[in-house]
Amino acid sequence: MAEEVKSPARYTITAALPYTNGPIHIGHLAGVYVPADIYSRYLRLIGKDVAFICGSDEHGVAISMKAKKEGVTPKDVIDKYHAIIKKSFVDFGITFDNYSRTSAEVHHKTASEFFVKLYEQGDFIEETTAQLYDEEAQQFLADRFVVGTCPRCGHEEAYGDQCENCGSTLNATDLINPKSTISGAVPSLKETKHWFLPLDKYEGFLKKWILEGHKKDWKPNVYGQCKSWIDDGLKPRAVTRDLDWGIPVPVKGGEGKVLYVWFDAPIGYISSTKEWAEREGKDWEPYWKDKDTKLLHFIGKDNIVFHCIIFPSILKAHGNYILPENVPANEFLNLEGNKLSTSKNWAVWLHEYLEEFPNMQDVLRYTLTANAPETKDNDFTWKDFQARNNNELVAIFGNFINRVVVLTNKYFNGVVPNPSNFSKVDKETLAELKKYPEIISSSIERYRFREASQELMNLARLGNKYLADEEPWKVIKEDAERVQTIMFVALQIATGLAVLSEPFLPFTSKKLKRILNVSPSASCLPAGRVEGSIEWNDVSNKETLLPANHLIGKAELLYRKIEDKEIQAQLDKLEATKKANEKENKALMPQKDTITFDDFSKLDMRVGTIVAAEKMAKTKKLLVLKVDTGLDTRTIVSGIAESFAPEEIVGKRVTVLVNLAPRALRGVDSEGMILLTENSDGKLVFVNPDEDGVGNGLTIN
């Protein structure tokens, strides 16, 4: 059931729908859009029927949260980022056949129909549970809409789903003193009904389809993640939410509820395909329902479960749809050693990049491809970016082109010379050139884009070596006719590069074709094959790519060097971001309500010393400490194991709140609390006396 579609009649290629709560950055580009675009462009170059589909993902709590925070409507938020994101894609040459959005009418209709169909088939189960409800605002509260005191660390601004202070995962119903962020009211519990997709029912299908069928052709990270989920046992998953932003649940009892964003988003691929087909006068259905269609999802690793488990189950439940043949998910890209973060502004934003490096899209595309996180998380560094540009694009690719064009102009006034006797080396070099389409194809078709980009560079190396060995600048002095042949061969390689670079370096390819005075390839243009254009396989099949007597243009540099100071400027910018983040963090918590001296004097804080520490078994964060408080030596359990090793804190002076009511944590009574704060990296720091000679048990006031 998982056989590869041998020679697909058409391809449906989807790229993860970007979420419109921010612009997009290099991580998105490297993980999803560049590989998907390379793949799609390549397929078009070999004459395939391709629908390359994407769009903005615009529903969900995070967007309504953001809107609330900024005092605007959700529509304002999505319109803003949809525009920015869409423009970034155009600017970077991502050739979607259609870029839609999930707020579009066609999508609301498609997703609703999908839901109704499954509903009518009885594929859902219904369940009523008690959820927090805001009487004043008359709505249920998503976890993120509730704040309260973290039951774990006492942080008073914990969100319902997670405490940002101690990092623990929470349920909104666990919060102490919960408050609605919408009205400030104290929420009550109220019953609510939801629809669930019983994923457990699809376990057999998923096992057979993925675990048996795709063991070999899916990437290990993708396969492993799926296996992990399936082996863990699948549970029913809610497909509706109590929210007012999204697609209304289109069945009885669905009032005031919307489809869960993860139910509707992947269906957005289908909606977007419909929109495209409508516009192009095509039939969308074969792209999603015909067995001869090869469906591929390009995503990042955070989406694996949705694209490999949940969405296929939905498609399977529906019944008429084909399943993805592969989901070549990438891992994550880090930036200068730290995780990319939209909220912390730790990113290289695409729109900002183009302001600072105008017309250098291909440099970023290339760097991100050559360094793509295909098998594991990878780090983007500006130094690496500079090196890829200066040592590869400039020195190898750009330099070769420049040499060929300059020499052709110098010796033959820009006219491709007539070759005469091909030497053994000439023939071998031309034969090498003809191998490249196959070499690069093979890498692309196995989703090994970084390897493919390096093979492309090897073709430029072939050209450089050929010139270095044949030395036309020497030969010209005694045998001009021989130089004609040499330059002819070199020009064929240059032309090959112009064609084969197109999926990776589309802007370069276009410019190079202009310099060589050849037509753009079909995939650059919607109209299909252009008269006189040279396509992928022509590089192998055609005897001559650039004929004698053809006139080429003047030399232009394809790339410029990137100076150290430009790189330094980017590093400084990131450093500034880091500083700004630190400030922001400090400013985060507003001052709490005023207390009286009596309130304060209730706290009994003492100087103490940690005399023993050991990790509590089977937990990740807890350390069991023995602390000498001066009064006694007592046990305190503290969630600091991720910041400190037990042995390094023995002997540490600390501040202890000694009269906190004892509490059992994991069966061990904890008699007090150690005072801690955290540094800018989120690592915990003890609050303690910074001079020696302060005895244990002394009070703090």
Partner RNA sequence: GGCGAGGUAGCUCAGCUGGUUAGAGCGUCGGAUUCAUAACCCGGAGGCCGAGGGUUCAAGUCCCUCUCUCGCUACCA
**539 or 624: whose CB is closer to RNA?**
624
Is 122 or 220 the residue whose CB approaches RNA more closely? 220
Q: How far is the CB of 395 from RNA (least distance, A)?
A: 3
What is the closest distance, in whole angstroms, from the C-beta atom of residue 641 to RNA in the complex? 10
Closest approach, Cβ 432 to RNA, in A, equals: 12
Q: How far is the CB of 555 from RNA (least distance, A)?
A: 8
Min dist CB 165 to RNA, Å, is 12
- The answer to whether the beta carbons of residues 436 and 495 sit under 8 Å apart is no
CA-angle at 438, arms to 434 and 442, nearest 5°: 160
List CB contacts of 458: < 8 A, sequence separation 6 or more: none
DSSP 47-90: T--EEEEEEEB--SHHHHHHHHHHTS-HHHHHHHHHHHHHHHHH
DSSP 8-state assignment for residue 551 = B
Give 369 or 533: the residue with its C-beta nearer to RNA: 369
State which residue, 271 or 408, has the beta carbon closest to RNA.
408
Nearest Cα neighbor of 447 from 289, 335, 299 is 299
Residue 181 or 464 with smaller CB distance to RNA: 464
Smallest gap from residue 488 Cβ to RNA (A) = 15
Radius of gyration of the chain (CA): 31
d(CA 357, CA 341): 22
> At closest approach, how far in Å is the CB of 524 from RNA?
21
Strands 98-101 and 684-686: unpaired
Distance CA 386, CA 371 (A): 13
Measured in whole angstroms, the distance separating CA 367 from the mean position of its chain's CA atoms is: 16
Residues in contact with 51: Cβ distance below 8 Å, sequence separation at least 6, in sequence order? 10, 11, 12, 13, 97, 98, 273, 276, 277, 287
Query: Least distance to RNA from the beta carbon of 306, Å?
Result: 11
Smallest distance from the beta carbon of 360 to RNA, in angstroms? 12
Of 382, 321, 402, 344, which is closest to residue 113 (Cα–Cα)? 321
The residue among 103 and 509 lying less far from RNA, judged by its C-beta, is 509
Residue 141 near residue 182, CB atoms below 8 Å: yes
* Distance in angstroms (rounded) separating the CA atoms of residues 669 and 672: 9
Closer CB to RNA, 322 or 558, in the complex: 558
Q: How far apart are CA 20 and CA 30, in angstroms?
A: 18
Whether the Cβ atoms of residue 436 and residue 539 lie closer than 8 Å to each other: yes
First to last CA, the chain: 72
DSSP, collapsed to helix, strand or coil, labels residue 437 as: helix
Nearer to RNA (CB atom), residue 122 or residue 667: 667
Of the pair 293, 330, the CB lying nearest RNA is at 330
Given the complex with RNA, which of 199 and 322 has the nearer CB atom? 199
CB 471 → RNA: shortest distance, Å? 7
- Give bridge partners of residue 617 from the DSSP assignment: none
Minimum CB distance to RNA, residue 509 (Å): 14
Query: 431 or 664, CB closer to RNA?
Result: 664
Place of tokens 């938020």: 77
Residue 207 tokens read as 């096992």
Query: Mind giving me the DSSP string for 267-319?
Result: HHHHHHHHHHHHHHT--STHHHH-TTEEEEEE-BGGGHHIIIIIHHHHHHHH-
Contact 638, 674 (CB under 8 A): yes
Tell me how far, at minimum, the Cβ of 333 lies from RNA, in Å: 9
Provide the minimum distance between the beta carbon of 538 and RNA in the complex, in angstroms, as a whole number: 25
Q: How far apart are CA 10 and CA 2, in angstroms?
A: 17
CB-CB contact of 615 with 646 (8 Å)? yes
Decide if 195 contacts 119 (C-beta within 8 A): yes
- Measured from the CB atom, the residue of 55 and 148 that comes closer to RNA is 148
Contact at 8 Å (CB) between 437 and 540? yes
The number of CA neighbours under 13 Å toward the Cβ of 416 is: 22
Two structure tokens written together for 557? 């540099």
Nearest to 655 by CA among 675, 671, 628: 675
For 608, the enclosing helix (H) or strand (E) is strand 605-615
Q: Which residues contact 86 (CB under 8 A, 6 or more apart)?
A: 56, 99
Least Å distance between CB 179 and RNA?
18
CB of 58 to RNA, least distance (A): 22
* Residue number, 255 or 681, with CB nearest to RNA: 681
Positive or negative, the Cα torsion across 224, 227, 231, 232?
Answer: positive
- Read off the amino acid at residue 652: K
CB of 665 to RNA, least distance (A): 4
**Which residue number, 410 or 653, has a Cβ lying nearer to RNA?**
410
Q: Which is nearer to RNA, 375 or 517 (CB)?
A: 375
Question: Between residues 100 and 221, which has the closer beta carbon with respect to RNA?
Answer: 221
- In whole angstroms, the minimum distance from the beta carbon of 632 to RNA comes to 23
Among residues 587 and 617, whose Cβ is nearest to RNA?
617
